[in-house]
Structure 1
Amino acid sequence: MSVIADRLSHSQLHASTSSGIALQATPALQTRLVSGQEWDRIIADFDEVCQEQLYTFAVARWPAVKHEPVLFLLDGDVVGGSLMMVQPLPLRLGHIAVSKWGPMLRDISRPDADAIHAGMVEALIADYADTRGQMISILPGATVDPAHGAYPRLEARGFKRGSQLLYPNRYIVNLQLDEAAQRKSLHQKWRYHLNKSEKVGLTFEHAGPERLGEFDALYTAMTDRKQFSDHSAYDTVASLMTLGDDLRPELFFVRHEGEVVAGALIFKTGDRAVYLYGATNDKALPLRAGYFMHWHIIGWLRENTRARWYDLGGTDGFQGLHQFKKGMVGDGGIIELVPPVANYASNRFAYFFGTGAFAARDVVYHIKRLVAGWRNPKTKPTLVRPSATESGQ
C-alpha cells in the first residue's frame, strides 16, 4: 500500500451540515501494511483496540479470508489502524473488504480524533473501493459518546445501511466511579443480590493462563448442561492465551467451600474492557456467584487497567441476561445499540453483488436460528427486539 493520493488534501471536508455532522478538515494519512505479529504488537497501546481487530484472533476465527493489517500514519506517527478482512464472493463476482469494529483510533482523546477517523475511512475508500473495486463493509462499535459516533460520519460520507444485529444493545459499565459510587449506581435488585452473595462464603481469585484448563472444563460442562449449540468464538481462546501480558485475556474464578463455581475471561486492553466468556456450575445460581464475580471484576479492572468502561456484551435475546446486565450497568453506565453495518462501493456492480451476498448470509443465519429454536426451545429469544431508533435505556 502507498501514500494516499493528492486528492485527500488537508482542506478536504468529510461531512456536510445537512447531515447534522460538523464540518472538519480531513487529513491526508499515509498507510502501511504490516505483518500480523507486528500488528498485534503495535495496536496493544491503542485506545480502541478490541479482540475482533487482533490478528491472532481473526486468523483463528475466520481462516478462509485474507487478513490485511493496515496502519494509518500522520506526519510519520501511527494514529490508527484497521485489520481488513478481504472476503471473495462466490463465482468470482468480486470481493468484500470488512472492518469489524474498525478503523481504530490510537488516541481517542486527541482533539482531531473525528478528523483522523474520517481520514482513515478516506484511505480505505481510496484503496479498497476506488483502486481495487471492492465493497467496503464497516461495523462500528457501540459508542459511549453519541456526539462522536462513527456511524453518522459514515452515512454522511455515502455509506449505506446494511445488516444489523438482531439484538444490538451493548451493556457498558462505567469504571470511572469510585467503589462507593459504583455500588450506589447499581440497580436496587442487583445490589440486593450482591449483598446476599457476600454473605455465603464466596471467594474471588485472579488466575494465570496456566489454569485455562479449569475454565475449559467449567465452560464445556455448562454448555452440555444447557444443551446450547455454541456458535461463539470460544475455539479461539487457546490462541489468545498465548499472547503477551498486554493483550492476553484475564482469567477469574469464584470458589465456594474450595470448589470453583464460576469463572470469566475478560479482554482488558485499551479504553474499554470486554466480557468475553463466562461459565458456571449448578451451584452458582443459588449462591448468586455471578453477582459476586462481576462486582470483583469491576474492582479489579478499575485498580489494574487503564480501561474506563467495561463492556458486558449483548443478550442474544434473553430477558434474564437483559435484566442482569441492565442492573449491573446501573445509573452510571450506558446501554447503546451497535450500529448497523455500513457499506460503500465506488461502482454499482460491487455494491450489488456485495449486498446480495450479505442478504443471502442473513437468510441462512435466520433459518439456522429458527431450526435451533425448534430443536431446543431453550434457545428461543425471550426479549422483545429494540427498534432501530431506541437507545436501550
Structure 2
Amino acid sequence: MSLAALSLSPVTEFAAPSRSAAAGFAMRLVEPRDWDDAIAGFDGVCQEQLASFAEARWPGVALEPQLFTLDGEVVGGCLIMVQPLPLGLGAIAVAKWAPMLRRTETADAGAIYARMIDALSAEYAARRRMMLSVLPRAALGSGNAEYEHLLQCGFRPGARLLFPDRYIVNLRLSDAEQRASLQQKWRYHLNKADKAGLRFEAAGPERRAEFDALYEQMVDRKKFPDHSAYGTVPALLAIDNAALRPELFFVRQSAADGQGEIVAGAIIFKAGDRAVYLYGATSGAALELRAGYFLHWHIIRWLRDNTEARWYDLGGTDGFQGLHQFKKGMVGERGFIAPVPPVANYAEHWWPRLVGEGAFAGRELAHRLGRYVDRLRPDRAKPDQHRGAE
C-alpha cells in the first residue's frame, strides 16, 4: 500500500486489530525510556516531544509515547501527556507540537498526519473517553493546514497564546544572502559587533555551570519573573543521544590573556528541520557590545553548517516591542513571522468536554492573574529591557 492511498476519512474503529492490519497503518505504545531515540531522526522532532523534557517539566503527568507505522515503516509519532483532573473527574490527553511527522516534505505528509489524528481521537476521545487537546506548531508558510484539518475533524478552538507570533529565520542561505536578508538596522548593529573584539564559542554540556551563572546574573539584573522551563536544562544537556542534546554557545569579549569575560550565551535545540532558540543570557556589558547580534549571527551560520535544519525558530516576544524589533530584523526578507494556532480540543462525550474545557479555563485564568500580578511589581523590568536585544 502506498502512502498516497491513505484515506483522510475518520478511522472510527482504528483500535480494532483487523481494521489496523487491513489498512497497514498502526499505532503502538512504546516505553518512555526508548522514546527519544525512536524519534531522534524525525523532521518534526522538537523539545516538547522528548520524554527527557516532559519528565522534568511535568512530573505529575503520565507519558504515553505513541509510534505510528505504515506497512511496518515508522512514519510519525506523538508523545501524549495524560493529565489527571482534580477529584477524580477524569483526564485530559495533551499533545503539544504534535503529532510529529518523520518526514515533513513528502507528498503524503498531510495524509499521514490525518491518519495519526484519527488514531489518537479513536484511542483517547472515543475508547478512553477523554478530551484530546492538540497544539500544532506554527506553520512554515501561509495558513496552518494541520490546524485547519483539526477543525474539519470536529476539534473546537481552545485557549490561544497571548502573543502567538513566532519568528523564523531561513538557515539555507549563504553568508552574503543572509546578510542581505537582514533588516538594515540589524545589519548595522552586526557590523558594529564584528568590530567589538568578540569571539564565538561552541561549547559542550560540561560548561553548563558557566551558562547557569550568566543566566542567574541576567535574571537578577533585569528582575523579571522567570516562568520558563529553565529547570529542565540539566536533563536536556544530559541526553546521551548527541543528535537530540541541545547545543551551548557563548560569546566572549577578547582580552590580552586570550580569555576575556563571557558576555552572552544561548542554548539551542538543533534536531529536526527546525532548530529552536531555547534560552539566552547576557551580562551587563552585552548591550554596548551588541553581543546578541554577534551571538545569533554565528548561531545561524553554525546551524547551517553543522545540522540538517532548514529553519531557526526564535520563539516569541511576550509582547515586548524591543524584542519584536530585534527578532523581526533577524528574520529579514527571507524568513517569516507565523502565529502558533489556538489549542484544538476534541471529545466524543459531553462529560469529558465539560470538565476538560473547565480545567483549561481555570488554568488560563490563573495564568492571566499571574501576569497581572507580575505587571504590578514595583521592581519589574521595563518592557524593552526584558530579554532585550543584547
For residues 369-390 of structure 1, the C-alpha deviation after alignment (integer angstroms, 9 at most, x for no partner) is: 11111014635767xxxxxxxx
**Structure 1 residues 44, 182: closer, same or farther in 2, change over 3 A?**
same
Q: Counterpart of 1:269 in 2: which secondary structure?
A: coil
Aligned to 1:369: 371
Counterpart selection for 2:111 from 96, 111, 115: 115
Contact residue 10 and residue 28 of structure 1 kept, 8 A: no
Q: Which residue of 1 aligns with 2:242?
A: 245
1:211 aligns with 2:207: yes
The match for 2:275 among 273, 276, 279 is 273
TM-score for the superposition, normalised by structure 2: 0.90
TM superposition shift of 1:35 = 1.2
Distance change >3 Å, CA 379–CA 360, structure 1 → 2: farther
Q: For residue 146 of structure 1, report the CA deviation from its aligned partner.
A: 3.1
Match of 1:256 in 2: 253
Superposed CA deviations along residues 345-384 of structure 1, whole A, max 9, x for unmatched, are 00121111101110011111111111111014635767xx
Give the SS at the match of 2:180: helix
Please tell me the residue identity of whatever aligns with 1:352. L
- Which of residues 329, 346, 356 in structure 2 aligns to 1:327? 329
The separation in 2 between residues aligned to 1:380 and 1:91, in whole angstroms, is: 41
Give the superposition deviation at 1:174.
0.4
Question: Tell me, what secondary structure is at the counterpart of 1:230?
Answer: coil
| Aligned residue identity for 2:263 | V
1:197–1:73 distance in 2 versus 1, CA, 3 Å:
same
Q: Which residue of 1 aligns with 2:136?
A: 140
Q: Tell me the percent identity.
A: 61
Kept in 1: contact 2:129–2:348 (CA 8 A)? yes
- Tell me by how many angstroms 1:37 deviates: 2.2
Counterpart of 1:378 in 2: which secondary structure? Answer: coil
Moved over 3 A (4+): 9-12, 376-382
Structure 2 CA distance for aligned equivalents of residues 325 and 369 of structure 1: 23
- Structure 2 stretches of 5 or more lacking a match? 12-22, 255-259, 385-390
Describe the superposition over 1:237-287 as per-residue Cα deviations: whole angstroms up to 9, x where unpaired: 001111121111001100113110000000000000000000000000000
Q: Secondary structure at the match of 2:380?
A: helix
* CA deviation after TM superposition for structure 1 residue 145, in Å: 2.9
Map 1:113-262 onto structure 2 (within 5 A): 113-146=109-142, 149-243=145-239, 244-257=241-254, 258-262=260-264
Q: Is contact 1:373-1:380 (8 Å) kept? A: no
Partner Cα separation in structure 2 for residue 166 and residue 148 of structure 1: 18
Q: Following superposition of structure 1 onto structure 2, how do residues 78-93 of structure 1 map, counting pairs within 5 Å?
A: 78-93=74-89
User: In structure 1, how many angstroms separate the alpha carbons of the residues matched to 2:24 and 2:274?
Assistant: 28
Alignment length (residue pairs): 363
Bigger mean CA deviation after superposition, 142-151 or 183-192: 142-151
Q: Tell me the TM-score normalised to structure 1 length.
A: 0.90
Q: Label 1:57 to 1:90 Cα distance change in 2 as closer, same or farther (>3 A).
A: same
Q: CA deviation at 1:149?
A: 2.6
Residue by residue over 1:179-232, the C-alpha shift from the partner in whole angstroms, topping out at 9 and shown as x without a partner, is: 111100000000000000001101111011111110000001100111112111
Equivalent residue of 1:316, what SS? coil
Q: Which runs of 5+ in 1 are unaligned?
A: 1-8, 16-26, 383-393
Residue 58, structure 1, aligned to residue 60, structure 2:
no
Residues 223 and 379 of structure 2 are in contact (CA less than 8 Å); yes or no, is this contact kept in structure 1? Answer: no
For 2:223 and 2:193, how far apart are their aligned partners in 1? 27
What does the per-residue CA deviation read over 1:140-199, in whole Å, with 9 as the maximum and x for residues that have no partner?
Answer: 000113366310010111100000000000000001111111100000000000000001
Q: Kindly report which structure 2 residues correspond to 1:298-377, keeping only aligned pairs within 5 A, or say none.
A: 298-376=300-378
Q: Could you tell me whether the CA contact under 8 Å between 1:29 and 1:123 is conserved in 2?
A: no
